[in-house]
Copies of this chain bind each other. A is one copy, B any other.
Amino acid sequence: MNRVSEFLLHRRVQFYEVDSAGIVHFSWFFRYMEEAEHAMWRTAGLSIAMAGSDIGFPRIATSFDYHRPLRFEDEFDVRIQIATFKTKTIQYSCIVSKGAERIATGALTIACVRKGPQQTMSAIAIPDEIVSRFEVAAGASV
């Protein structure tokens, strides 16, 4: 199986994602980016949140720059790429586009944690069986 380094999600804007200015509310782009991330993990044969697992991947930093708006029923693409892959963290970069038009540019850093008793979380090294499925995308940057 080839290592996975990126994913291209094709998506349509839903009515409940659009605000009263008639454009997608800026908070939705973080959900679009996460949808693409989770689809990339599925392509790698993984789930980012396995039922019963004590390992999790909380988000530790994220950002978006908005270039143009998306509107109701627009079709668009979310390209997520692995920009860095470290022992305990992964950084993604993300481009949202509509046809040839650049809509928004995002970034997301996640950490690997083990959940302990009393809701504690400790940073741990990403398990080998996960590391082995991914690689950094050629040309990705954050």
A26 at the interface (CB under 8 A from B): yes
**A35 contacts partner chain B, Cβ-Cβ < 8 Å:** yes
- Please name all residues of chain B whose beta carbon is closer than 8 Å to the beta carbon of A60 when the two chains form the complex: 65-66
Cβ of A102 under 8 Å from chain B: no
Contact A66 B72 (CB under 8 A): no
> Given A26-B30, A31-B27: A18 and B15 within 8 A (CB)?
no
Residues of B within 8 A of A42 (CB): 73
* Known A15-B38, A27-B30; contact A20-B72, beta-carbon cutoff 8 A: yes
Q: Interface on A for B, CB 8 Å cutoff?
A: 14-16, 18-23, 25-28, 30-31, 34-35, 38, 42, 47-49, 51, 56, 58-66, 69, 71-73, 119, 121
